[in-house]
Amino acid sequence: MFLNELSKRESILFINLVKSLATVDEVFSEKEQQLVADYLEELSLKDSDLEEISFEESLEGLKNSTTKNKNIIYFELIGLALVDGVYSEEELKLLEKISASLEISSEKETAFLNFFKEVKDLYDVTVVDYESKITQLEQTVAALLA
């Protein structure tokens, strides 16, 4: 949703983190594969644009990114970790390394997780006024990423 704010270099580094996170639990689910394809499309990246960059180098390359871009990257990575419905121990450890490197506060991490819980709750129940709820969620995520 906000990935278009990343520079091309940040986008490439982000995709490398996505691949690291998606495969850390040795389960690269169909949903995770589809999300990676969606990220590439949203970022207007082709396979030829990508470079194989290590996890550590990717984190190092993002250290000078803006706080907002770091938040966007971490937010999207949490979404990826939750997309297959399983939040594995390996994914959790990798996310902790990423949050530490990107200097994401524990309060921000909690806020991101709560946002995804709200989204899940929205899809789990029938909401009469779903359009206003979606608008509210969009406003919430925009504020979280600022």
Summarize pLDDT for 87-124 with one digit per residue, the tens. 788 888 999 999 999 999 999 998 988 887 777 766 66
Cα–Cα dist 72/3, whole Å: 7
Torsion, CA 15, CA 30, CA 116, CA 124, rounded to 10:
160
Cα–Cα dist 51/60, whole Å: 15
129 has pLDDT over 90: no
Q: Is residue 143 part of a domain?
A: no
pLDDT tens digits, residue range 36-69?
Answer: 889 999 999 988 888 889 999 999 999 999 999 9
128 has pLDDT over 60: no
Q: Is residue 137 part of a domain?
A: no
Asked if residues 15 and 40 have their Cβ atoms less than 8 Å apart, the reply is yes
Percent of the chain with pLDDT over 70: 88
Q: What is the CATH number of the domain that holds 12?
A: 1.10.3680
Range 136-144 average pLDDT: 78
* Domain extent at residue 39: 3-103
Give the angle subtended at the CA of 104 by the CAs of 33 and 136, to the nearest 5°.
Answer: 70
Q: Is residue 11 part of a domain?
A: yes
Question: Which residues lie below 8 Å from residue 54, measured CB to CB, with a gap of 6+?
Answer: 16
Residue appearing with tokens 């921000």: 108
Q: Is residue 142 part of a domain?
A: no
Cα–Cα dist 134/140, whole Å: 10
Q: Is residue 138 part of a domain?
A: no
Q: Is residue 95 part of a domain?
A: yes
Residue appearing with tokens 């949490």: 78
Q: Is residue 146 part of a domain?
A: no
Query: How many structural domains are present in the chain?
Result: 1
Q: Is residue 86 part of a domain?
A: yes
Question: Which residues lie below 8 Å from residue 81, measured CB to CB, with a gap of 6+?
Answer: 21, 87, 91, 92, 95
